Amino acid sequence: MRKFTDLALNTAKNLGASYCDIRIINTEYENIKTRNGEIGSIDKSETMGYGIRVVIDGAWGFASSSLITKEGIENTTKKAVDTGKASALTIRNRVKLAPEPVYKDKWTTPYIIDPFKIELKDKLNLLYAADEILRKDKRIIIATGNLSFLREHQWFANTEGSFIEQILLRSGAGISATAIGDDVQIRSYPTSFGGQYMSMGYEMVESLKLLDNAERVRDEAIALTTADQCPPGKKDLILGTGQLGLQIHESVGHATELDRVLGMEANYAGTSFATIEKLNNFKYGANIVNLVADSTIPGGLATIGYDDDGVRAQRWHIVKNGILSGYSTSRELAHTIRENRSRGSNRADGYNNIPIIRITNLSLVPGDWTLDDLISDTEDGIYMDTNRSWSIDQRRLNFQFGTEIAWEIRNGKKGRMLRNANYQGITPEFWNSCDAICDEKHWQLIGVPNCGKGQPGQRAEMSHGCSPTRFKNITIGVGQKGNTSEQV
């Protein structure tokens, strides 16, 4: 690959660029979905291409292509330079990159079993076996199974001298059952929207024990169709990890992406209430709330050796003892918060997109409660788990989430199952109402494989570690009879 990366870097320099990087990426992808005993979708793909980014006249330019030839790379580099020159027409602030050491390195996701070497028939047999259990009851109208594997082989080189090769691997798996009765209800395992995803090999799929959980998933979906509606009101809310992961993602992760904070996403994903004057003085959450960004944690979907700026992976606090303590940053924007090094959060979706700041793995540090003790300690509460719906405003303040399942908690006992559960809050009020976090035995990483951001739209993957956590006096059952909204 050196000859191609050198060609791009030299061409850019000859055309006047002050900085250039190139990422060549070969992607292998396999996705199998079953639906009611048939193939819901199946795809096996392989792509190869490259993106070239330049700074010229103080402004960014970018172009991508899949034509990996001398002529293709020269033309694409020229296109990147031309777009950069056009950007310079409106320039107010020249691009200033935070320094980073030069690396010559190779990094690979640790894994035990290569998922691409498992026979397709074995993968299908697993999904069909789960399907058979899920559809043993006729009230199940849709049973799904999902397996997804992605390997990205990347070569990064820049004009500062770095040359980094990375092989990133991730696996995903899950099942779901949709039941019809008085209502239509879905139940998923281990999490919703395709299941759990981690930077691991096929060993992750085996560890999930999909078949052992299929009967419970089926029975809970059926039970939900006749369960009582989640009542409206205010209660103490315990969130299971299948919901809390997304709560962290939406109300902390996105709110602390520095590009959003500075207004660069204002026209699309929005901005943030967590503005830079609040750094190190804003009470984001209760004292027990510690949220740590970590692109080195084993199994995290954003666990990498280096980001797409060529910055080495790091670990840092976003919220420390309840105080806003950091942001996700890039080489371009680190200086805006007077940091002299990027946190290494600049990532692109594939070869054909420009890197933008993305949430890395962001986790809530465990507390010291057991779940049994937490439930016993809750007088009038609700336990919600597994995300079904999500919405948050453009400044990441007002959110409303729905979950697949909930249980009432009365006088320290987990009671009746509830359907159509949801809750609503305002981010800092919500995190400041946190009064108990379960311990590391309950802590798990929840993968988010489909985070959308940017224009053109880009997808990114990251994980959020957490354990069941309690929040006091939260609005639940929005839209149910008796709430502010009346019946909808």
> Residues 262 to 321: which contact other proteins by CB under 8 A?
262-268, 270
Considering the complex, state which of residue 211 and residue 266 has its C-beta at the smaller distance from other proteins: 266
- For residue 274, the minimal CB distance to other proteins (Å) is 13
Decide: is 191 part of the binding site for other proteins (CB under 8 A). no
Considering the complex, state which of residue 108 and residue 473 has its C-beta at the smaller distance from other proteins: 473
Which residue is it, tokens 């006992």?
A: 413
Out of 40, 231, 233, 412, name the contact with other proteins by CB under 8 A: 40
Decide: is 39 part of the binding site for other proteins (CB under 8 A). yes
Out of 65, 196, 467, 469, name the contact with other proteins by CB under 8 A: 65
- Choose one: 297-305, 362-370, 394-402, 441-449; the region binding other proteins (CB under 8 A): 394-402
Where in 320-379 is the site for other proteins (CB under 8 A)? 352-354, 356
Considering the complex, state which of residue 124 and residue 371 has its C-beta at the smaller distance from other proteins: 124
Q: In whole angstroms, what is the distance from residue 50 CA to residue 62 CA?
A: 11
Decide: is 87 part of the binding site for other proteins (CB under 8 A). yes
- For residue 388, the minimal CB distance to other proteins (Å) is 8
What is the three-class DSSP state of 376?
helix
Considering the complex, state which of residue 340 and residue 487 has its C-beta at the smaller distance from other proteins: 487
Question: Do 188 and 53 touch, CB atoms closer than 8 A?
Answer: no
Question: Do 238 and 468 touch, CB atoms closer than 8 A?
Answer: yes
Which residues touch 3 (CB under 8 Å, ≥6 apart)? none
Where in 102-121 is the site for other proteins (CB under 8 A)? 119-121
Taking Cα atoms as reference points, which of 182, 248, 226, 151 lies closest to residue 444? 248
Taking Cα atoms as reference points, which of 267, 259, 382, 278 lies closest to residue 329? 259
Decide: is 44 part of the binding site for other proteins (CB under 8 A). yes
Measured at the alpha carbon of residue 402, what is the angle toward residues 273 and 356, in degrees to the nearest 5? 40
Decide: is 132 part of the binding site for other proteins (CB under 8 A). no
Where in 133-162 is the site for other proteins (CB under 8 A)? 141-142, 144
Where in 207-246 is the site for other proteins (CB under 8 A)? none
Where in 15-34 is the site for other proteins (CB under 8 A)? 33
Decide: is 199 part of the binding site for other proteins (CB under 8 A). no
The pair of three-digit structure tokens given for residue 7, joined into one six-digit string:
């060609």
- For residue 120, the minimal CB distance to other proteins (Å) is 5
- Choose one: 107-115, 294-302, 367-375, 395-403; the region binding other proteins (CB under 8 A): 395-403
Decide: is 83 part of the binding site for other proteins (CB under 8 A). yes
Q: In whole angstroms, what is the distance from residue 272 CA to residue 260 CA?
A: 6
Considering the complex, state which of residue 270 and residue 412 has its C-beta at the smaller distance from other proteins: 270
Which DSSP helix (H) or strand (E) runs through 473? strand 469-476
Query: DSSP characters for 398-423?
Result: EEEEEEEEEEEEETTEEEEEEESEEE
Where in 168-187 is the site for other proteins (CB under 8 A)? 178, 180, 183-184
Q: Which DSSP symbol is given to 86? A: H
Binding mask 427-466 for other proteins (x = CB under 8 A): ----------------------------xx----------
Size of the site for other proteins (CB under 8 A): 88
- For residue 370, the minimal CB distance to other proteins (Å) is 32
Q: In whole angstroms, what is the distance from residue 52 CA to residue 79 CA?
A: 9
- For residue 205, the minimal CB distance to other proteins (Å) is 17
Q: In whole angstroms, what is the distance from residue 408 CA to residue 186 CA?
A: 19
CA within 13 Å, CB half, 22: 31
Query: DSSP characters for 193-231?
Result: TT-EEESS-THHHHHH-HHHHHHHHHHHHHHHHHSEEPP
Q: Angle of helix 210-226 relative to helix 120-134, nearest 10 degrees?
A: 30
- For residue 84, the minimal CB distance to other proteins (Å) is 7
Burial environment of residue 46 by CB neighbours within 10 A (0 to 12, 13 to 18, 19 or more): exposed
Out of 25, 73, 80, 157, name the contact with other proteins by CB under 8 A: 80
Decide: is 194 part of the binding site for other proteins (CB under 8 A). no
Which residue is it, tokens 């500062």?
A: 160
Decide: is 71 part of the binding site for other proteins (CB under 8 A). no
Question: Do 321 and 262 touch, CB atoms closer than 8 A?
Answer: no
Taking Cα atoms as reference points, which of 374, 338, 343 lies closest to residue 357? 343
- Choose one: 64-72, 108-116, 409-417, 466-474; the region binding other proteins (CB under 8 A): 64-72
Decide: is 82 part of the binding site for other proteins (CB under 8 A). yes
